[in-house]
Structure 1
């Protein structure tokens, strides 16, 4: 329902529906993977519906994946997971997974647009990101500590602050990252956040050139990730 987007989100949603945001992602993440093992994630934005500019209360919902999980353990992520046979589509999957992980009431959200599938090389899954607006904030929290042991909203003003942005690298790979309350947001989640901030026009200039070692950055963080 792109027409239901708040004014301040319309540039972002237009970029999703036109495919421009997808084209702004790294080439290696735009396609590929096992399409029999699809997944979906919910990019849930909250913030005043009446504001024309990015509102001060604008935020996005993230989770910290339990360090005991088999895949992507310890990472900061959007709510989401594998598409089940009972899911109607990727939107249904993203909302179901968000409910299972955070207790999110799906009636409090308005799905706005769906990106083309994004490939995660680590798992081989094509992932469908769903952009939505949380029109009525409802209680959320940790539902299953084995999946996500922290659930929190991050103010977009925090993500756009250059002091909280950096570039991380490992071997021949490099990518954008964010620091959030001691956590390091990197990889798939940071790539989508970075592309979204740029597409929406919320970006501020930040140091893209200095590359910080990913292992060092993770060691200093609260992620408790298994090092690569």
Structure 2
């Protein structure tokens, strides 16, 4: 996997960079949902900066998609033979889905790979600094309905944090920000990122919520956390 020059990262990203090199700190996240050596896919956790601090780039998947329609996710997809590594996969998919300018993206690591049983993929979340932000939008309406930049301060706000209750009986972390509901695999990655970067804030883990019906349109999501 390619990576940027560590010296080029801003100081506020260096704690995350250090954590990504610490096997002991990564083990907790890895153990929650380990990879199994399946087909490879990657998502891009693109970390930008605004006047209010760091933010992350999300996409809302098109409602017509066969898998995970309407869900909030990081841009990403399956690896192609032409991709030199999973960083290339993540960046390519982000460009295809949001139109982001790849020259402004500085990859510097990844979170532990997680397996998604329903799709048969091992998904690697690639972390990158949005060194030179560029305009983004839904580049392919067949795949993406909308694109969102969400502030880390909003995601880490205890008022945004809930434990989700899935019809299958699974419970796990979720985020309610504006009209977005982030759960499943994406919430797993966000929760891990907040912890590793030192952005986590104590929140009430007894606060439960049901998944809004608009995010349960995929019958495969009835299988629980492995559905997404």
Please point out which of 16, 21, 28 is paired with 1:24. Answer: 28
Give the RMSD, CA atoms, in angstroms.
1.9
Q: Matched residue of 2:14: which SS?
A: helix
Gaps of 5+ in 1: 49-54
Q: Distance in 2 between matches of 1:163 and 1:116?
A: 27
Q: How many residues align?
A: 215
**TM-score normalised to the size of structure 2?**
0.87
Q: Matched residue of 1:14: which SS?
A: helix
**TM-score normalised to the size of structure 1?**
0.87
Q: Which residue of 2 is the match for residue 191 of structure 1? A: 188
Gaps of 5+ in 2: 223-228
- Residue range with higher mean Cα deviation, 18-27 or 96-105: 18-27
Q: Which residue of 2 is the match for residue 46 of structure 1? A: 48
Is this contact kept in 1: 2:172–2:184, CA < 8 A? yes
Q: Matched residue of 2:57: which SS?
A: strand
Q: Distance in 2 between matches of 1:124 and 1:20?
A: 27
Cα distance change, pair 225–12 in 1 and its aligned pair in 2 (3 A): farther
- Residue range with higher mean Cα deviation, 196-205 or 88-97: 196-205
Give 1:12 shift.
Answer: 1.4
Deviations 1:91-119 (A, max 9, x none): 11111100100001110110011234221
Which aligned pairs between 1:2-151 and structure 2 lie closer than 5 A?
3=6, 4-20=8-24, 22-25=26-29, 27-32=31-36, 34=38, 37-47=39-49, 56-151=52-147
